Chain A
Amino acid sequence: MAFGPYFLLATLEGLVTAAVLALTALGLSLVFGVMRVVNVAHGEFFMLGAVLAWAVSTAFAGHPSIGFAAALLVAPLVVGGAALLSERLVLRRLNYDPEATIVATIGMLYIIQQLALTFYGADARPVQAPFNVRIQLPWFGYSGYKLFVIGAAIVLMLATWFVLTRTKVGLLMRATQYDSETAQAFGIPVDRVYAGVFALGAMLAAVAAVLIVPIQQAHYLMGRDPLLLSFIVVIIGGLGSLRGTVIAALLIGLSDGIISVFFSPTLAKMLATGLVAMVLVFRPQGLFGVPAR
Chain B
Amino acid sequence: MADALKVAGLDAFYGEVQVLRGFELSLLKGEVLCLLGRNGAGKTTALKAIMGLVSVRAGSVLKDGQDLSKLSAHEVPKAGVAYVPQGRRLFAEMSVDENLEIGLSTRGKGRQTRESVLELFPVLRERLSQRSGTLSGGEQQMLAMARALCLEPDVLLLDEPTEGLMPSMIGRIREVVAGLRERGVSTILVEQRVDAVLSLADRVAFIENGQNRETVGVEQVRVDPGYVRRYVGVS
Contacts and interface: CB of A to CB of B under 8 A. Distances in A.
Contacts of A290: 93
Interface residues of A, number: 19
Given A171-B101, A171-B105, A185 B94 contact: no
A185 B91 contact: no
A178 B94 contact: yes
B233 to A, nearest CB: 30
Interface string A181-206: 11111111111000000000000000
Interface string B3-44: 000000000000000000000000000000000000000000
B72 interface: yes
A172 interface: yes
Contacts of B53: 181, 184-185
A174 interface: yes
A183 B106 CA distance: 11
Nearest to A182: B89
A171 B98 contact: yes
A186 B94 contact: no
Given A185-B77, A187-B78, A172 B105 contact: yes
A187 B91 contact: no
Interface string A152-188: 0000000000000000100110110011011111111
B125 to A, nearest CB: 20
A182 B85 contact: yes
Given A168-B105, A171-B105, A175-B102, A188 B74 contact: yes
A174 B74 contact: no
B151 A187 contact: yes
B105 A178 contact: no
Nearest to A168: B105
B147 interface: yes
A188 B106 contact: yes
B51 interface: yes
Contacts of A174: 91, 93-94, 98
B124 to A, nearest CB: 17
A182 B91 contact: yes
B74 A187 contact: yes
Interface string B152-192: 00000000000000000000000000000000000000000
Contacts of A186: 77, 102-103, 106, 147, 151
Interface string B84-110: 010001011110001001110111000
Given A168-B101, A174-B93, A181-B53, 13 more contacts: A171-B101, A172-B102, A174-B94, A175-B102, A178-B92, A178-B94, A184-B52, A185-B53, A185-B77, A186-B151, A187-B105, A187-B107, A188-B102
Interface of A: 168, 171-172, 174-175, 178-179, 181-191, 290
28 contacts: A168-B105, A171-B94, A174-B91, A175-B102, A178-B91, A179-B91, A181-B89, A184-B52, A184-B73, A184-B74, A185-B73, A185-B76, A185-B77, A185-B85, A186-B103, A186-B106, A186-B151, A187-B74, A187-B77, A187-B105, A187-B106, A187-B107, A187-B151, A188-B74, A188-B106, A189-B72, A189-B74, A191-B72
